[in-house]
């Protein structure tokens, strides 16, 4: 069992930065690939990024955030991060942390555990 709690969302101006954190509890955290998703108003949930279980794990990100968002994890702290730079109004969404068996599974939306979400609002 893994519990996920996101934090770090907020209101930021276009071009600004935010860092989201996802704290995980549960002894099996290190066995999971971790991912970030987002859901904008009136839109479907969207995959954002994922990382394999190792601390130097391979990451994957959707094209719209490549070069702006970076995902990392600290297994010693049971925490994953999403550093978001050069934010745009279209990045406005509720961001969710998720744990899954593989990065590939997360890329297609298959997660075993979900956090409650944190709101990110980018003003123009």
Return per-residue pLDDT of the chain as tens, 124 residues: 889 999 999 999 999 999 999 999 886 777 889 999 999 999 999 999 999 877 566 788 889 999 999 999 888 898 999 999 999 999 999 999 999 999 999 999 999 999 999 999 999 9
d(CA 41, CA 114): 19
Instruction: Assess contact for 80 and 72: CB atoms under 8 A.
Output: yes
């Amino acid at each position: 069992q893994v519990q996920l709690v996101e934090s770090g969302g907020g209101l930021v101006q276009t071009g600004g930065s935010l860092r989201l954190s996802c704290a995980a509890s549960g002894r099996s955290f290190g066995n999971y690939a971790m991912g970030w998703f987002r859901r904008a108003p009136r839109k479907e949930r969207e995959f954002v990024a994922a990382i394999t279980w190792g601390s130097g794990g391979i990451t994957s990100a959707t094209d719209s955030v490549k070069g702006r968002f970076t995902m990392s994890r600290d297994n010693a702290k049971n925490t994953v991060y999403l550093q978001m730079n050069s934010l745009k109004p279209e990045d406005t969404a509720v961001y969710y942390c998720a744990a899954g068996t593989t990065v590939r599974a997360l890329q297609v939306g298959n997660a075993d555990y979900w956090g409650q979400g944190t709101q990110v609002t980018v003003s123009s």
